[in-house]
Amino acid sequence: MLWSRWRLARERRTVAAMIVIYCRDRHGGRALCNACAALDVYARQRLDHCVYGAEKPTCFNCPIHCYRREPREAIRQVMAYTGPRMLARHPILALFHILDGRRPAQPRLPRAHVA
């Protein structure tokens, strides 16, 4: 149980780090722009309300796509841009994300959705 909570917290840090890298490289500035800050908040909300809870697979492997169309496209762009850069900038997070992506999605039904 503790491992699962740690993994979910690490997933939050990974997504946040990806958004920071993307925003700094693409939009300039030291702080997140409004669009990237909103995407970060949205991504955290989706992680908090994931129907799989702490046992969630990576979003790429998840059978349930919970992002709305616009944020899904935005996070796809963030991940496509930052994926190759994560190993250099955040190697531990990148390595764990790669390993998490190799885990198969749980075959059991997810817990009840709490929105």
pLDDT at 21 over 90: yes
pLDDT beyond 70 at 9: yes
Token match 């970060």: residue? 40
Query: Which tens digits make up the pLDDT trace of 44-73?
Result: 999 888 887 777 777 777 778 789 999 999
Question: Where do the structural domains in the chain lie, given as residue ranges?
Answer: 6-102
Yes or no: say if 58 and 100 are a contact pair by the CB < 8 Å rule.
Answer: yes
The pTM score is: 0.82
- Residue linked to tokens 């969630």: 56
End-to-end alpha carbon distance in the chain: 22
Q: What is the mean pLDDT of the chain?
A: 85
For residues 99 and 12, the model is more confident at 12
pLDDT band at 75 (very low <50, low <70, confident <90, very high): very high
One-letter amino acid identity for 21? I
Nearest to 15 by CA among 76, 66, 102: 76
CA distance 25 to 30: 10
Show the tokens assigned to 45.
């909300």
